């Protein structure tokens, strides 16, 4: 019976450590944002639309 208790505690600790590792990796991920298009490109797009 003691073997099953120790095994259960060991499995619980492994799951806890893996969960903490996964959470810390998720928070460490650096998100990036695409740069905004240049104003010159926006002006060219507007000129093309006005011609139609």
Give residue 29's pLDDT: 85
pLDDT score of 37: 74
- What does the DSSP assignment read for 1-52? -HHHHHHHHHHHHHHHHHHHHHHHHHHHPPP--PPPPPHHHHHHHHHHHHH-
> Which tens digits make up the pLDDT trace of 1-52?
999 999 999 999 999 999 999 999 999 888 888 877 775 555 555 555 555 5
Q: What is the pLDDT of residue 14?
A: 98
pTM: 0.55
Q: Any residues with CB less than 8 A from the CB of 50 and at least 6 apart, and which?
A: none
The dihedral through the CA atoms of 13, 16, 22, 28 has a sign that is negative
Q: What is the pLDDT of residue 43?
A: 59
């Amino acid at each position: 019976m003691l073997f099953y208790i120790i095994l259960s505690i060991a499995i619980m600790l492994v799951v806890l450590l893996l969960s903490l590792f996964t959470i810390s990796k998720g928070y460490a991920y650096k998100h990036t944002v695409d740069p905004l298009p240049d104003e010159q490109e926006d002006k060219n797009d507007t000129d093309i639309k006005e011609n139609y």
